[in-house]
Structure formats: C-alpha cells, structure tokens
Amino acid sequence: MKILAIDTSGKICSVSVMENREILKTKYNKSEREHSQTLMPTIKETLDELKLTIDDIDLLSCSRGPGSFTGIRVGMATIKALSDAKNIPIAGVDTLKALAYSAIIKKGKKECKILSMLDAKNENVYFAVFRIHNGNLSLYKNADVANISDVVEYINFNTPLYIVGDADPEKLDPLFKAKLSKQYAQGRETADYEYIEDLPILSESIALSAQDKYDIGDYGDSNTLFPLYLRKPQAQKKKEKEDDKLYFLEMTKYDLENIKNKYDEFPNIWDYETFEEDFKNSNYIVAKQNNEVVGFIGVRTILDELEIMNIVTRKDKQNQGIASNLLSYLLRHYIGKNLVEKINLEVNAHNIRAISLYRKFGFREVGLRKKYYNNQEDAISMTL
C-alpha cells in the first residue's frame, strides 16, 4: 500500500511517499514562495523520482491543522482535488498528532505521554497531550489553544513525558519543575521529561499516522476532510466573555432538575426516568458554560474498570467539542490518576461520528451486541 502525504501547515512544504510503513521518498521546499506555487511541483518531482504516478497511490493524507490558515487550505484543497479526480481515499491528520508520531519515530512506542506544541503567538500555544499505552497512541488532552503557563495544568509526571514542537524550555522548565516538586511532596511517583529535537520532516509523520488511521477504518472521501481551526476569528473573539469557558463539575441534584426541565434539548436514547435512575447508581460529570449545563457524561466503576453509561451534548452546542472535552477530562481524572485500568463503552453501530471520536481517544472495537438498542439496532463494544 502506497501513501502520499503532504504538509503545508507551517513554513516548510513537504511531500512524502510511504509503502508498507517505509518512507520511499521525501522532498521539501523552504522557498519563500507560497505553498500554492510549490506544492504541486514538489508532488510531481517526488512521484517522478520514484517512477510513480498518482494512479499508483492507494491513500492520500495531509495535515488539517492547527497551523497556517492559508497553508492548511492549500494542502487540503490539493488533496481533495486529487481524491475526487482519481477516487483515492483520504485520511486527514491533525498537525499535533503528526508531531506525536515524530516522537514515536525518534523514541519508539514505550509507555509515556507526549506534549505536542505549536506557536500561536502572543505567549499562546496550540497544544495536545497524547498517551502511549500498551504500544498504542491515543489522545489524552484534546487539542486546544492556551497561554504557555496554563499548559502544565494538563500534565502529570507519572510516566515519562516527551515534548515536541515549538517548546520554549526557559518558560516551561520552571513550570514543570514546580509540578514535579508538588507531586514528589505528595508522595506520588514521578518520571522525568525530555525535549525531542531534530524531528523528521512532518509529512513522514503524517504518512505513518495515516497508515494507522487506515488500518482501523478511519478514512473516507473528500467530504470527510475538514480543517481543524483552534483559534477563533478575531471578530468572534471580541464578542466572547470569560464566562464562555467550559467548566467540569460533579452533577448535583440542582443540575438534574435543570436538565429535567429542558430534557428535550438533550438528544438521548434514554427517557428521563431511566436517566434519573442511572444518576442514583453512577457518577455524572456536567460541562457548564455561562453556568448552564451544555453536556454531561455518566460513568460507573466496577473494580478497576470504568463503564461509560451515557454521554450527551445539548442540541444547540453540538459540533463544538463538548463531548471531546468531556472525554478528555474523564481520561485525565481516571486514567491520569491511575484510578482505573480500563474504560469500556457501547455505541450505536450507525453513529459514525461518535465511533470516530472514540477511536481518536484510543478506544478499540472489541465486540458487537446485536439489537442492543430497543431490540432493534446493534451496538459496538469498545475499550481503552
């Protein structure tokens, strides 16, 4: 299987061709010309030197952000055009995840966490935290944009930490050392951290990530490729207030009553009586914005395993990352603190969006439960 991967998210425009997890050729261009002028010639040169054509390619891939808005649009438009013209599937890769794969290329897949960072200017960074467990890479803290000083909030040092991308040791080291000292004072085991330098060209990491996505069926046509923009337009940011920030809290009876009064706004296969009964036997976390519940997740602990019972986003807040943030919070709370060894769930076999989200966080399909929902629709069992 041959993969053509490109990266236009930064200053360097790069193209790689990979076959069976081996990079056959990589070419990149540091020219000051726009990526729109250099990308197609670089693709052609790469294929020509391998004596290949686009018809020999089985999978296309590109970075979908974060990064340069213009560069990302150029790369995605090119990949979409090639896909539509030649009917070749696409696996889009988050830039921060590609950086995590760069750490894997350098260090292998030993147990660790990986902090991927990109400069977002004005003391801010795009960042995400990934986890390698049992040889599998999964999302631990979903992609976000924050001040450098706030990034440490999402880090613990119970396993080795690798830092890749636009890291500034002078600003990070004091924060990391303070967090390490706090963990040590609490009697918790600590591990060290390391900055990974001399990373491979990013299109190579994108190709490797695309292969893994293809192997689990996470790919599609040009209609499935969307940009990942973490920074909101300036005009929109001016309208937003600090109150718009998401907060995660244990669900109270007061929250339950508020949800009851607006239950039709929370699309759910459960009726309210079933939900209320589960509240008595499970732990529920609510996502709040402007002091209103915009989503919730229910879990139940059985020995050293966690069962996700329910995850719901309010109708008017869907497709805004609420569910992703709830899952990220759940992993940091339960997995990050070593409270459980495994997380399990069931998801409707037709809910492609939810399945894709769970895969992003490292969940793997382990079984199929026939007619699980209302004795009609199948459920896929997944575990992390």
Q: What is 2-94+200-224's CATH number, 1.20.58.60, 3.30.420.40, 3.40.190.10, 3.30.590.20? A: 3.30.420.40
**pLDDT of the residue at 234:** 41
Query: What percent of the chain has pLDDT above 70?
Result: 96
Does the structure show a pLDDT above 90 at 16? Answer: yes
**HEC secondary structure over the chain:** CEEEEEECCCCCEEEEEEECCEEEEEEEECCCCCHHHHHHHHHHHHHHHCCCCHHHCCEEEEECCCCCHHHHHHHHHHHHHHHHHHCCCEEEECHHHHHHHHHHHHHCCCCEEEEEEEEEECCEEEEEEEEEECCEEEEEEEEEEEEHHHHHHHCCCCCCEEEEECCCHHHHHHHHHHHHHHHHHCCCCCCCEEECCCCCCHHHHHHHHHHHHHHCCCCECHHHCCCCCCCCCHHHHHHCCHHHCCEEEECCHHHHHHHHHCHHHCCCCCCHHHHHHHHHHCEEEEEEECCEEEEEEEEEEECCEEEEEEEEECHHHCCCCHHHHHHHHHHHHHHCCCCCCEEEEEEECCCHHHHHHHHHCCCEEEEEEEEEECCCEEEEEEEC
Residue spans of the domains in the chain: they are 2-94+200-224, 96-195, 234-340
Does the structure show a pLDDT above 60 at 243? Answer: no
Does the structure show a pLDDT above 90 at 229? Answer: no
**pLDDT of the residue at 231:** 63
Identical fold between 96-195 and 234-340:
no
**pLDDT of the residue at 319:** 85
pLDDT bin (cut points 50, 70, 90) of residue 217 is: confident
Does the structure show a pLDDT above 60 at 213? Answer: yes
Average pLDDT of the chain, as a whole number: 90
Mean of the pLDDT values across residues 310-332? 91
CATH architecture of structural domain 234-340: 3-Layer(aba) Sandwich (3.40)
Mean of the pLDDT values across residues 292-302? 94
**pLDDT of the residue at 19:** 97
Does the structure show a pLDDT above 60 at 238? Answer: no
Question: Higher pLDDT residue, 364 or 244?
Answer: 364
Q: What is the pLDDT of residues 22-77, one digit of tens each?
A: 999 999 988 757 898 999 999 999 999 999 999 999 999 999 999 988 999 999 99
**pLDDT of the residue at 239:** 44
- CATH no. of 96-195: 3.30.420.40
Mean of the pLDDT values across residues 351-362? 89
